[in-house]
Chains A and B, each alone.
Chain A
């Protein structure tokens, strides 16, 4: 198992090293394709290679035309299998945190909750790999207020670190009748305003925590980005007065996520590269929006 993992990791790194070259080749092909479509002369710098590249272009189909990046590779096979999630907390969780994890368990279909006990991260990851979990979610707290969420994709990563703000759990709302019950159907997803490359990446990480829903599913989960804070909302809807009238009803927890790190590896890998880190004290941080407009 260990050797297999090492081999897989090495292969992954090798593929990553090829990515730059592939990208270059793709750009060349794209230029040629454009020139051919517009009926313009082939760019002079590509005239020597044109014949070979054109042959390659002819042989391409929908799957091979666009180069699959390494980043897609981690999630390349994610759609073939339903996600299987392990949920756990930091050590010695308080009552509110355990309640919050319970709710998260119902938010993600096909999730399992585990008491953290005294387990160390290495052990957890190892057992997750052995049982073919696709994701591990760790929830952290500060004095009973959930303040951190780590989403780790298995087997190779990436790991996204989120900060949690404005958490309102179902347990906080005492009126049981007003919040209603939690449906178990696979939810539809709404990912709003993830326009940048990083936003796209974050959306991919979040998206693949949920299985493919049925088209008529009435359960909606929203991740709406606004100035780098991702609002999580959970609704069910009903169309009682005709197809145009939608009655939304919020159920389940709500919170704001703030991304602060993406690591190209699993949680336990201290040596793993950082894909992106939030630098809050840089002068330009104020002006920039990382996930979308």
Chain B
């Protein structure tokens, strides 16, 4: 930075002092350069120059609106710099006549351009500055189409043409890597993927991010559950009772209508079996249960061939010759009837080849038809032989119909 050198400091100090009268808002009278570093000095210059630039801009705008003031300005201040002189000359010349205008500079065009630049918002300056070209000002009349003489249709066309040109240029220009389809890391610029928002299709839901809201909602659920006392704990298994529950005897606290002697009499009669005891509800249940149990036992016994008692030991040994070598046990239980044990071929004593209509093969069907025909023919021949031999045709037609 040039400010580091003493000459540069001096120079900047001089410039600062010379600009001072034009910037009354600046807090400093002169540039303090002794003992300050470059950054601080720049800061001071900045403080002075910012308002100065703003005022200059304002001035320029004012002159744009009222061009005659320029003359006043130059009349008063006189010319100091070489540049200003040039400008003055130009302006003077311009005022004398339209002699300044040559093939390069057209005053009208300049004015138009100035209007275009500063007539609207200040913000649009940046954009319009980029598009300024030499041709905008310095093109001979022959080449430039006069815009004022164009019809609306032509203007429209020109607009469309410009748009087309722009689009074509865009199409022809090399595409951005994001638009080129499949691409590998080596084919695109380094770290370029970081700057692009890439759109991925995730089939998996991403794991939840645990924010304070999530925790709060979970805690709400927990609190609610605690208040309700609604937990999903493991329930202890209910114990299956192993012993039958004790029968509670019903106590009757009414005064007995029978005498003790009568009660004894009844008891005695029941014991001896003269009178049957009245059946209570409990007794009926017991009876049903015992019936069921008996039936179950019978079935279980049948499974063991009713050999519930161990076989008695045969005392005297004797040799028998005509017995099979192995005493084979029947597979089926003894209690099952023979009828249920018959094999299918024993149950059904018909012809072997029995088939459903849709199971038949082509050969089968042919065979069946041939057989049917043969049978029919035989029967028919018999009939013909029996009856008069005049009407064979009628029988045939009947057969066809069938």
Binding site for B on A (CB under 8 A): 77-80, 165-166, 188-192, 203, 207-208, 210-213, 220, 222, 224, 226-229, 231, 233, 235, 237, 244, 246, 248, 254, 256, 258, 280-283, 285-286
Contact = CB atoms under 8 A, between A and B. Distances in A.
Contacts of A246: 223, 226-227
A212 B234 contact: yes
Contact of A283 (B203, B204, B219, B235): B203
Contact of B204 (A208, A226, A231, A285): A285
Contacts of B226: 220, 237, 246
Interface stretch (B53-61, B186-194, B205-213): B205-213
A80 B237 CA distance: 6
A235 B215 CA distance: 12
Contacts of B208: 166, 226-227, 229, 231, 256
Given A220-B222, A246-B223, A248-B219, A166 B234 contact: no
A224 B223 contact: no
A165 B233 contact: no
A224 B234 contact: no
A278 to B, nearest CB: 9
A190 B232 contact: yes
- Interface of B, secondary structure class, is loop
6 contacts: A79-B234, A79-B235, A166-B209, A207-B234, A282-B203, A285-B203
Given A166-B207, A189-B234, A211-B234, 14 more contacts: A79-B234, A79-B236, A166-B209, A190-B221, A191-B232, A212-B234, A213-B233, A229-B207, A231-B208, A237-B222, A237-B226, A244-B227, A285-B204, A286-B204
A280 B232 contact: no
A189 B232 contact: yes
A90 B234 CA distance: 29
Contact of B231 (A188, A211, A226, A283): A188
B222 A222 contact: yes
B383 interface: no
A49 B338 CA distance: 25
Closest 4 A-B residue pairs measured CB to CB?
A79-B237, A165-B207, A191-B232, A188-B231
B144 interface: no
B7 to A, nearest CB: 60
Contacts of A254: 210
The CB with the most chain A CB atoms within 10 A, among B204, B210, B218, B227, is that of: B218
B157 interface: no
Contacts of A256: 207-208, 210
Given A224-B218, A237-B226, A280-B203, A212 B232 contact: no
A285 B201 CA distance: 12
A2 B321 CA distance: 47
Contacts of B237: 77, 79-80
A80 B238 CA distance: 9
A235 B222 contact: yes
B234 A233 contact: no
Contact of A207 (B204, B218, B232): B232
